[in-house]
């Protein structure tokens, strides 16, 4: 009885955590930047803007509405990532410029979301504030199925090219000289990472920092080989977000915290710690 | 010929390099014979790096053609090129925590791009490449913890694991101290002899090039100036014209090869 209520939420948490962690690995490999992650890069913000637009048009979490929200989130994620890429100056992405560009794009879309919320009838955007913090409510089974499908597609896009992703770490030119079609690889990984981010944002809200915490912890354990890292990140991200959701539900019971609050409380200090210790030399 | 360039020309799109006169490469004709070591030398922005990019199909020539074992380079796919030509770049990106063995195994990619994990044969070949450059004992160590000479040899092992016909080296002794420079030069000659791999060596170090190479190609401002044995190319009058500074050419007492020395502008006053 409790299980049948709990199960969809558990599934949603596992999917969201796994998808975000894999998106983190993908963005880190793509930008060759260890601090890249959907929320840090502003990509989650772009996806969230897409979802808010959808919600203001009356799209809900039924199957059709959810599909529309996911598509809008994907469009938003692509626009945000393209903006970051252009601001940071295409060619060589240094750690600093990439992070700055991500912050700028994230702030821009946060303001755009605030604008939409202030303009649109509040009743229409009922749960928007709650959702914006990242919230694993109960999804209808059909929507949950769509979420699983998007996450699986995104995971496959990244996982099947994990060996090439390793070569990309040598630099784009070196990867090409080893036989990798770098342009196609980047496009495919980008599509996968954007799809993973967009589906999580559409179904659970912009939950931050999972893509940073989980890949780094696993890299310390397993090393940098993406062929092991990507599947491990999916499993590890699922477990991490399940745990975070459990804390979110119980820490202020009978009230409930948004799971995004928990991940941000873990992730922000973790980000600072990474910056001050491991990646000091990069800044 | 392993690789042959016939009247190759290339120019970067005008917007990309922010320099006064846009860089162009023109009328480049040369070949690397089986088992040969060809050195490419020349002043800054002579076209050395562009030449490497053209030979590995990172860039496509605008004029002329490049043949790889007699076949037009443009008709080969990336993996086919990578099975024949391996590049040892100047440096590894920072933050590179892969182990030596993981790096060397990457060299096996072009031989089976569809394979997800390397197989036993790949591992055996990688092991042989690590032994050839003396990094077999370092196999499990992360690359970011190695010294410059060890790193260089690990990257060289990665290139050997590609089992190329032609090895392209970009400034192989940059950032190496004297002992490691000497070891690197000896290693290249040994690999050339024992494995029969042809080498194209791009370097600013005229003495390394003169010592190691069978022939030299001198480039200046995107054009070939002279190609021939080191004694012909390392000619004081020619080098002074190309580099725009006074040089003195001697013969090494040990190898009878030419040795080039810069005469510092203020040397005579002291």
Residues of chain A positioned with their CB less than 8 A from the CB of B82: 177-179
Q: What is the mean pLDDT of chain B?
A: 90
DSSP code for B99: B
Which among A171, A177, A219 has CB closest to B82?
A: A177
Domain boundaries, chain B: 1-84+164-245, 97-162
Compare all CA atoms of chain A with the CA of B55 and give the residue at the minimum distance.
A177
B110 touching chain A per CB within 8 A: yes
pLDDT mean over B111-140:
95
Indicate the CATH number of B1-84+164-245 among 3.30.70.141, 2.40.50.140, 3.40.630.10, 3.40.50.300: 3.40.50.300
What is A211-228 written as a DSSP string? HHHHHHHHHHHH-S-HHH
Task: Search chain B and give the residue with CA nearest A278.
Answer: B95
- For residue B83, the chain A residues in CB contact (below 8 A) are 179
pLDDT tens, residue by residue, B30-85? 999 999 999 999 998 888 889 999 999 999 999 999 999 999 999 999 999 999 99
Percent of chain B with pLDDT over 90: 70
Please tell me if residue B84 touches chain A, with a CB cutoff of 8 Å: no
Give the tens place of pLDDT for each residue, A116-125. Answer: 888 887 666 6
Cα dihedral sign, B220-B225-B231-B236: negative
**Any idea which of A62-71, A126-135, B4-13 has the lowest mean pLDDT?**
A126-135
**Chain B residues whose beta carbon lies within 8 Å of the beta carbon of residue A34:** 95
- What is the rounded CA–CA span in Å between residue A42 and residue A87? 12
- Distant-in-sequence, close-in-space partners of B128: CB < 8 Å, separation ≥ 6: none
d(CA B259, CA A283): 42
In this predicted structure, the answer to whether residue B171 has a pLDDT above a threshold of 60 is: yes
In chain B the first and final C-alpha atoms are separated, in Å, by 50
pLDDT score for A122 = 65
pLDDT range class, residue A111, cuts 50, 70, 90: very high
Query: What pLDDT, on a 0 to 100 scale, did the predictor assign at position A56?
Result: 85
The answer to whether residue A135 scores a pLDDT higher than 90 is: no
Q: Which residue has the tokens 């090494």?
A: B252
Name, in order, each residue with C-beta under 8 angstroms of A39's C-beta and a sequence gap of 6 or more: A45, A106, A206, A207, A208, A209, A211
All domains in chain A, ordered by first residue? 2-282 (1.10.3470.10)
**Shortest Cα distance, chain A CAs vs residue B154, angstroms:** 13
Q: How far is B259 from chain A (nearest CA, A)?
A: 33
Q: Which residues contact A104 (CB under 8 A, 6 or more apart)?
A: A42, A87
Q: Which of B53, B82, B90 to mutate to test the interface with A (most CBs of A within 10 A)?
A: B82
Of A167, A170, A227, the CB nearest to B117: A227
Contact B85 A177 (CB under 8 A): yes
Inter-chain touch A176–B56, beta carbons under 8 Å: yes
């Amino acid at each position: 009885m409790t299980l049948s209520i709990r199960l969809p939420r558990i599934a949603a948490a596992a999917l969201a955590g796994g998808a975000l962690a894999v998106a983190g690995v993908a963005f880190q490999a793509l930008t060759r930047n260890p601090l890249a992650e959907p929320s840090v890069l502003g990509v989650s913000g772009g996806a969230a803007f897409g979802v808010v637009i959808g919600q203001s048009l009356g799209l809900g979490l039924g199957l059709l509405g959810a599909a529309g929200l996911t598509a809008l989130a994907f469009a938003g994620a692509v626009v945000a990532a393209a903006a970051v890429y252009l601001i940071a100056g295409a060619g060589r992405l240094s750690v600093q410029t990439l992070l700055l560009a991500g912050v700028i794009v994230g702030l821009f879309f946060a303001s755009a979301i605030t604008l939409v919320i202030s303009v649109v009838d509040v009743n229409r955007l009922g749960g928007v504030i709650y959702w914006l913090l990242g919230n694993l409510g109960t999804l209808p089974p059909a929507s949950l199925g769509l979420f699983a499908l998007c996450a699986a597609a995104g995971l496959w896009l990244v996982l099947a090219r994990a060996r090439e992703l390793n070569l990309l770490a040598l630099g784009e030119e070196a990867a090409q000289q080893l036989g990798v079609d770098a342009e196609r690889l980047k496009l495919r990984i980008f599509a996968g990472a954007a799809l993973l981010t967009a589906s999580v944002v559409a179904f659970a809200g912009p939950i931050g920092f999972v893509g940073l915490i989980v890949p780094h912890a696993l890299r310390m354990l397993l090393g940098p080989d993406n062929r092991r890292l990507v599947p491990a990140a999916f499993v590890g991200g699922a477990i991490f977000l399940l745990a975070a959701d459990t804390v979110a539900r119980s820490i202020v019971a009978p009230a409930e915290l948004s799971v995004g609050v928990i991940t941000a409380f873990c992730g922000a200090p973790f980000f600072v710690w990474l910056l001050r210790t491991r990646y000091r030399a990069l800044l | 010929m392993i690789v042959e360039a016939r009247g190759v020309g290339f120019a970067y799109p005008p917007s990309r390099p922010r320099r006064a006169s846009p860089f162009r490469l023109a009328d480049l004709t040369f070949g690397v014979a089986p088992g040969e070591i060809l050195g490419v030398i020349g002043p800054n922005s002579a076209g050395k790096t562009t030449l490497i990019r053209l030979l590995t199909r990172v860039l496509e020539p605008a004029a002329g053609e490049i043949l790889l074992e007699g076949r037009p380079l443009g008709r080969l796919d990336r993996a086919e090129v990578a099975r024949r030509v391996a590049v040892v770049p100047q440096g590894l990106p920072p933050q590179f925590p892969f182990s030596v063995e993981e790096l060397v195994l990457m060299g096996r990619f072009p031989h089976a791009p569809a394979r997800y994990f390397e197989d036993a044969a790949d591992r055996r070949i990688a092991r042989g490449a690590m032994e050839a450059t003396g990094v077999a004992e370092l196999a499990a160590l992360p690359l970011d913890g190695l010294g410059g000479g060890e790193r260089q040899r690990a990257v060289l092992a990665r290139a050997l694991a590609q089992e190329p016909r032609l090895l392209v080296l970009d400034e192989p002794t940059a950032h190496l101290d004297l002992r490691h420079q000497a070891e690197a030069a000896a290693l290249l000659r040994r690999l050339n002899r024992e494995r029969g791999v042809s080498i194209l060596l791009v370097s600013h170090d005229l003495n390394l090039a003169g010592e190691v190479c069978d022939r030299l190609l001198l480039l200046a401002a995107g054009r070939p100036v002279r190609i021939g044995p080191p004694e012909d190319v390392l000619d004081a009058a020619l080098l002074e014209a190309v580099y725009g500074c006074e040089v003195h050419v001697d013969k090494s007492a040990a190898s009878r090869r030419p040795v080039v020395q810069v005469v510092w502008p203020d040397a005579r006053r002291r």
